[in-house]
Amino acid sequence: MPLNILVCIKQVPDPEQFDRITLDPATGSINRAGIPPVTNPVDRHAVEEALRIREASGGTVAVLTMGPPQARKCLEDALAMGADRGVLLCDMAFAGADTLATAAVLAAGIRSAGDFDLVLCGNESVDGATGQVPAQLAEALGWPRVTYARKIEIAKEAATAFVEREIEEGFLRVEARLPAVIAVVKRINRYRLPTIFGILEAGKKEIIEVGCAACECAGLVAEAMGLAGSPTRVAGVFQSHRKRHVEMIGGDPKEAARMLIHRLRELDAL
């Protein structure tokens, strides 16, 4: 049975340049100026998994992101991988959102974009790394959710997903009735790279822009969006200053180890 799948993706600062990230002490937000944006790495695996399910079962794959106009680029990358259409949630009313307000807007965007049997997303983003949005999104949609998914199998009747969920030293095999939200980890697959043909085809595919008005039509009140709808705020930003002292201990390894233990005890470190 064909499935209509939607994948939530996010544009983040390039992890290779995280050493250039600074925090704005006035707003408590990340200063991304000069750092190139990329698609959140694990979200690419979510797109890949959606494409594999479509190849096995038929159906469609849509990709959705919330962000400024330049976030359109990560949608274009997903379309070049093979997704069918994109949705950009873009409005100044969404700015300053914490994870709860983000999930609320994503849920409204999903409702406005159509009827879906399955929503996939990366387990967490590399910039926030909270891992909260998938569960909050499922709650906002009123759907079951599975996180830390390393393998997904869709039943033939397409009403159930069987998921291997990572836990410490093993995994749980769980069953989820569709529609559901499933958050994947990188281990689930190796994602494909866009081909030249895929890049050319992406330019012909639809990307629709959804704003505050459409989310309100989907049942979300303005007070639940952006900073106004965020129950958590950054109270302050400070820089930690640490003084460090280095002592070098050389000589015979056994004697050096004995001296190290003696010195650590003197410093109350053991």
Kindly state the average pLDDT of the residues 93-116. 94
What is the four-CA torsion angle of 57, 187, 80, 4, rounded to 10 degrees?
30
pLDDT grade, residue 123 (50/70/90)?
Answer: very high
Lowest pLDDT segment from 108-117, 224-233, 236-245: 236-245
pTM to 2 decimals?
0.85
Residue 247 has pLDDT above 90, yes or no: no
How far is C-alpha 27 from the geometric centre of its chain's CA atoms?
Answer: 23
Lowest mean pLDDT across 11-20, 66-75, 104-113, 116-125:
11-20
Q: What is the mean pLDDT of the chain?
A: 91
Task: Report whether 78 contacts 39 (CB < 8 A).
Answer: yes
Cis peptide bond prior to 2, omega within 30° of 0: no
Tens digits of residue pLDDT in 152-179: 999 987 789 999 999 998 999 999 999 9
Q: Which residues does 99 contact at the CB level (< 8 Å), separation at least 6?
A: 128, 130, 132, 133, 136, 232
How much is the pLDDT for 6? 98
CB 246 within 8 A of CB 116: no
Contacting residues for 21 by C-beta, under 8 A, at least 6 apart: 13, 30, 31, 32, 35
Output the pLDDT for position 49.
98
- How far apart (Å, rounded) are the C-alpha atoms in residues 170 and 203? 42
Instruction: Give SS3 for 70.
Output: helix
Q: DSSP states of 210-221 as a string? A: E-HHHHHHTT--
Closest C-alpha among 48, 64, 38 to residue 126: 38
d(CA 36, CA 86) in angstroms, rounded, equals 21
pLDDT tens for residues 25-45?
776 666 777 788 999 999 999
- The pLDDT score that the predictor gives to residue 196 is 94
Residues pairing with 13 in the sheet? 37
Split at pLDDT 50, 70, 90, the class of 216 is confident
Band of pLDDT at residue 132, cut at 50, 70 and 90: very high
Q: Is the pLDDT of residue 4 over 90?
A: yes
φ/ψ (deg, to 5) at 153: -125, 130
pLDDT value, residue 27? 66
Query: What is the H or E stretch that residue 34 is in?
Result: none
The model's confidence at residue 237, banded by pLDDT at 50, 70 and 90, is confident
| Residue 242 confidence (pLDDT) above 80 | no
For residue 216, give Cα distances in angstroms to 8, 26, 65, 169: 20, 31, 17, 44
Phi/psi of residue 132, nearest 5 degrees: -90, -30
